[in-house]
Amino acid sequence: MWYVLQVDTGQEQDVQQALRGMGMIALVPRENRAVRKGGAWTHKEYTLFPGYVFVSLDYNADNYYKVRDVPHVQRFLGTSGLSPSRLTYLEAEWIKVLSGGGKPLEPTRVRRQPDGSLKIVGGVLGNFASRAIQYDSHARRAKVELTICGEPKTVQLSVELVNDS
């Protein structure tokens, strides 16, 4: 089963590596985000869910204490009663796609259509086209609405406008 850990912001990759060192599957979705700096567009690695690490494990006392003892782990998300909230199958699949096989995602390529709409021509956003709620061409971002442990979350993904030539 997949769970969400709340961790110290900025320590997501360290927690991920520690969990992997214990033989657990841990994911931290990241992207090479388009950012405007000094009048020019560059790319900077950005964590899509700051302060969270997604982990697949059998939830039992042994694993609970192993995870809890990892530096920078605050808690399992949604702990109510004896066990934390789990990701649904679909939510886990979304996280796997957003994790890009362990590499930061590249911006999704889009092309402006004659009617002014944007058409996805390549990239991860193609997997979430029906969940895209807003495109901001100026900021080069698309907002996508997902659920995590049943709670709605908005994720921003980078887009890159390509020419027809």
In the predicted model, is pLDDT for residue 165 greater than 60? no
d(CA 34, CA 43): 5
pLDDT class of 5 with cuts at 50, 70, 90: very high
Calculate the average pLDDT of the chain: 91
In terms of Cβ atoms closer than 10 Å to its own Cβ (0-12, 13-18, 19+), residue 146 is middle
For residue 2, the model assigns a pLDDT of: 96
Instruction: With 0.75 as the threshold, say if the pTM is over it.
Output: yes
Does the pLDDT of residue 81 top 60, yes or no?
Answer: no
Give, as one character, the DSSP assignment of residue 101. G
Q: Report which secondary-structure segment, H or E, holds 66.
A: helix 61-68
CB atoms within 10 A of CB 16: 23
The confidence score (pLDDT) of residue 130 equals 86
Contact (CB, 8 A) for 19 and 101: no
How high is the pLDDT of residue 80?
60
Full DSSP string of 122-136: ESGGGGGGGGEEEEE
- For residue 129, is pLDDT > 70? yes
For 24, residues 6+ apart whose C-beta sits below 8 A from its C-beta are 55, 56, 57, 63, 67
How is the chain split into domains, by residue range?
Answer: 2-161
What CATH number does domain 2-161 carry, 3.30.1490.20, 3.30.70.940, 3.30.70.260, 3.40.50.450?
3.30.70.940
pLDDT tens-digit map of 17-59: 999 999 999 999 999 998 888 888 888 999 999 999 999 999 9
